[in-house]
Chains A and B, each alone.
Chain A
Amino acid sequence: AAGVIQSPRHLIKEKRETATLKCYPIPRHDTVYWYQQGPGQDPQFLISFYEKMQSDKGSIPDRFSAQQFSDYHSELNMSSLELGDSALYFCASSLGQGRGYSNQPQHFGDGTRLSIL
């Protein structure tokens, strides 16, 4: 079965640079979530989209922005990168929370490992 696809798998950047992470959800999934997992930490929710609209916002820095496109893929744009942004970034997808499917499980992609030098 098709899973969530994230790219790139690994990314190395320097401080103050920008980065764009991409996420392609499971087919027919219309909700996308982004999570950040630092070393030794549990995943922390950043932001989510349902039907191309932002549906919830967590601990996402103002330097980061994201959007969901008409084909439901999503991109996380990160600017003015800092050393503390080094982490695993996971995208997850599920069926429409907007329809009240809050019990639908989220399926995660392999993640992007971002290293800031």
Chain B
Amino acid sequence: RKEVEQDPGPFNVPEGATVAFNCTYSNSASQSFFWYRQDCRKEPKLLMSVYSSGNEDGRFTAQLNRASQYISLLIRDSKLSDSATYLCAVTPRWGKLQFGAGTQVVVTP
């Protein structure tokens, strides 16, 4: 069982709609949490860090639930350009990232 689990999707989302998905992690000592976006065969690009109080960056909102050990990402007013694989990443104490397998989002016209 992977230490970081994600629903692989795909989530098919009409343009303009809202989509949300979660990521669960098994290591309760995990320190830091991130969402990355990866387009096909390209590098992971940092979307946002996830803070304990939750945080928002434009149309993107991230939440952290330490008690239940999951993080979430919500995308509002989806754009065609939001189509990508969204990777959840978790760090234990010393910085290496443990990734989930990714959630594929497909935004359709």
Contacts and interface: CB of A to CB of B under 8 A. Distances in A.
A107 B91 CA distance: 14
Judged by DSSP, the binding face of B is: loop
B96 A42 contact: no
Contact of B95 (A42, A97, A111, A113): A97
A78 B77 CA distance: 45
A33 B32 CA distance: 16
A90 B97 CA distance: 12
Please classify how large the interface on chain B is, using the bins under 10, 10 to 19, 20 to 34, 35 or more. Answer: 20 to 34
B102 A105 contact: no
B55 interface: no
Given A90-B44, A107-B46, A108-B45, A33 B97 contact: yes
A81 interface: no
Interface in A16-54: 31, 33, 35, 41-45, 48
Contacts of A113: 41
A95 to B, nearest CB: 10
A55 B31 CA distance: 17
A45 B97 contact: yes
A94 B32 CA distance: 13
Contacts of A88: 41
B39 to A, nearest CB: 12
A112 to B, nearest CB: 11
Chain A CB within 10 Å, residue with most, of B41, B87, B97, B98:
B97
A103 B44 contact: no
B96 A103 contact: no
